Amino acid sequence: MAAPRLGIQLYTVRELTGADTFKDTLRQLSELGFEGVEFAWRYGGMGPEALAAFLDALGLTCCGLHVKLPELLDPEHQVYDYALATGSRFITTSLAGRQAEWPALLPQVQEAGRIAAGKGLVFTYHNHWQEFEPIAGEYALDRLFAGTDPELVKAEIDLGWVCRAGVNPYTYWRKYGQRAPQIHLRDYDVAAGAVCDVGDGFIDPHATVRQARECGAEWLIYEQDTYPVSPFASCRVCAERMRPALAAE
């Protein structure tokens, strides 16, 4: 399998993606060695074509967009314009904490996948820890994937939230294999019960890259929402630990 690429979910640097700081933030992320960015609702005040041109100038790839389910269900919504203009293959949503609504939501998830596929995009579902609450003895997340077409609904598995749920992240990832083209690199310190810098918890950079190759993951997307020092300090740690593993494996 081809080597995965290193991306970053921009929610990691959410406080630095206002209209006045957005461009400088993406420049710095590019300089750190991230190859792709996954957007989370903010586009720097730029329209789709302008954003695409800016990414091209930086040599960055759009590795996904995280959007809301109602936006996905509107075929004319601008989120699709952003995805298509930037050349993203992926468009993603999450429904954390809404497991009780699965009977009504799963057909909508399936429909989102159908609309995305009709536009040449791959729809992925991003998990949190809440989807590991059981429904009739089955993880809610497993029920979501079992209840939708694997050709239309792929997985963006967040390793850290799997770990927080008390499930082995690497085993769970392998369960879905090539249904998971995007993997979120969120590290978690089980003893402290907290998110931590990549490599300071359960994540082994080399083992992660090897499994990404075996499972066919296209992107390893770093995400972190709390930091020992600062967002950029943690971004640097991730890049410095993951890039050698990507080069070696």
Please determine, for residue 1, whether its predicted confidence score (pLDDT) is greater than 80.
no
Helix, strand, coil in percent for the chain, rounding step 5: 45, 20, 35
Q: Where are the alpha helices (DSSP H) in 3-89?
A: 22-32, 48-58, 69-72, 78-86
Which pLDDT does position 17 carry in this prediction? Answer: 95
Write down the domain spans for the chain: 5-248
The pLDDT tens digits for 199-225 are 999 999 999 999 999 999 999 999 999
pLDDT tens per residue across span 113-162:
999 999 999 999 999 999 999 999 999 999 999 999 999 999 999 999 99
CATH number of 5-248: 3.20.20.150
Across the range 26-32, mean pLDDT stands at 98
If pLDDT is split at 50, 70 and 90, which confidence band does 89 have?
Answer: very high
Give the pLDDT of residue 47. 97
* pTM strictly above 0.85: yes
